[in-house]
Amino acid sequence: MIHEMKRLTTRIGAYDPLDAAGYERLGGFRGLRQALSKAPADVIGEVADAGLQGRGGAGFAAARKWSFVAAQERHPKYLICNADEGELGTVKDRLLLEGDPWAVAEGLLITAYATGADVIIVYIRGAYREAFCLWKELAERVSAELRRPELWTAAAGRAAPELRVVRGRGLYIAGEEMALIASLAARRPVSASKPPYPAEKGLFGMPTVVHNVETVANVPLILADGAGEYRTVGTEEEPGTRLFSLSGNIRRPGVYELPIGSTTLAQLIDDLGGGTLDGRPPKAVQPGGGTSALLSAAHLNTRMSSADLRAAGSSAGTGGVIVYGADRNAVSIVDELLGYYGGESCGMCMPCRVGTLKMREIVKRLLAGDGCAADIGRLRAVGETCVKASTCGMGQSFPLPVLSALKLFPRDFESLVRVPPRTRTPDQEQSR
């Protein structure tokens, strides 16, 4: 039987989320004090030693992002906390935002100190109304706390950063780094090809660092107890813990914190999640949110680390583990997923704009009993094109569940093929 290891979630429920003193009593601000006693470059060094990686899906090394921005001379520099958590099956950021907001704020302040950021913007998903209202109030309290000389002014030797809270407006793609930057600049929220990277030319053309909420929440831990202590859990390449949002066909859905790589998918589902609703092994699992490739029951012994999940053919993504029950059909699973992502393409690049639509059409056709054998090949070809040719992470990854379903459950697709090509009526031929 495995148990949770609470590092990021240990204070949740233990203090009033708006109460700075309560946070401090529980060990808060130790990381910020430690950081301010060092030079910014040493803070970056500590985070680099800890090996902190982004928790938003791409897994980029946090310290590298920081050093790129710190090296820039131009001001103002922006630090954006990406709390536009729109990935299917992922609710971990909401838990941190509402349960331990001061830890997120502290992480942001340390990041701002290390990178020299002048403005911190927290971009909160529109549907997270409670989190937004809380953060609106928190922003004022943070600036009040920062007036305490030992917390910022005297130590940092420069003006405290300004904390702004912005509410997203219900668009999935706005959570993508480049689209998020466009959104804040009141431009159409579409992705853009990189380079230039945000570190060089981000919000309003200025150096910008964008971090996921969970990434930021790890920062105070590293500074408070040192990189060595941080590295005592997790794997060599991926130290620390991760929050896994467990949902779908599961007895005890919720957010669970585990050391990276210490547990298998089966342990997460059975020991913490209480197993599937009917007790049978799941048909499929998405281990890293709605755009991660499906894994079948044969992969349940995969350890929950980026490297192991990649070897199994999927990815750790956002840590959103979605469990599909044994009697589900793979085609209906991908139909649901395409139904969501099909409406969320920003339309900036052609493969994703057309691909989301075409793939959905084919799947609908198969489900309606109008599909032909060639449709399966078409579905794969369109999906592979999107993966190779799309600009942003969404376009490159939304076809992955479909492609993995075609590989793992080909019978589900083949059994839906009803119409052999020669018996198609002229009308059907035309509508193709």
Partner 1 sequence: MNPEQAAAYRQFFSSLPSLVTAEDLFGILGQLQDELGCIPRAAIRDLAGRAGVSETRLFGAVTSYPDFLLAED
Contact residues toward partner 1 (CB under 8 A) are 126, 166-167, 169-171, 174, 183-189, 204, 346
Q: Min. distance of Cβ 54 from partner 1 in angstroms?
A: 24
Please tell me whether the peptide bond between 149 and the residue prior to it is cis, using omega within 30 degrees of 0.
no
Shortest approach of partner 1 to residue 127 CB, angstroms? Answer: 9
Give the orientation angle of helix 92-99 with respect to helix 213-230, to 10 degrees: 80
- Would you say 205 or 410 has its CB closer to partner 1? 205
Q: How far is the CB of 241 from partner 1 (least distance, A)?
A: 33
Give whole-number Cα distances, 121 to 15, 104, 372, in Å.
24, 12, 50
DSSP assignment letter at 299: G
Closer residue to partner 1, CB minimum distance, 267 or 345: 345
C-alpha span between 113 and 116 (Å, rounded): 5
Comparing CA positions, the residue from 110, 102, 111 lying closest to residue 135 is 102
CB of 177 to partner 1, least distance (A): 16
Backbone φ/ψ region at 319: left (φ over 0), alpha (ψ -120 to 50), beta = left
All residues at 6 or more sequence positions from 91 whose CB lies less than 8 Å from its CB, including other chains: 85, 245, 247, 255, 320
Task: Write the secondary structure of 165-227 as one string of H (helix), E (strand) and C (coil).
Answer: EEECCCCHHHHCHHHHHHHHCCCCCCCCCCCCCCCCCCHHHCCEEEEEHHHHHHHHHHHHHHH
Cβ 25 to partner 1, closest distance in Å? 34
The strand pair at 162-167 and 208-212 is best described as unpaired
**Nearest residue (CB) to partner 1, 170 versus 377:** 170
Quick one: 134 or 174, whose CB is closer to partner 1?
174
Sheet holding 208-212, edge to edge: 162-167, 119-124, 78-83, 208-212
Q: Encoding tokens for residue 202?
A: 């981000």
Backbone angles phi, psi at 192, to 5 degrees: -145, 155
Residue 179 C-beta: closest distance to partner 1, Å:
9
For residues 339 and 369, which CB has a smaller minimum distance to partner 1 in the complex? 339
Closest to partner 1 by CB, 52 vs 203, is: 203
Residue closer to partner 1 (CB basis): 23 or 132: 132
Min CB(119)–partner 1 separation in Å: 9
| Nearest distance in Å: CB 167, partner 1 | 6
| Closer by beta carbon to partner 1, 109 or else 165 | 165
360 CA to centre of own chain: 24
Residues 6+ apart with CB under 8 A from 353: 345, 347
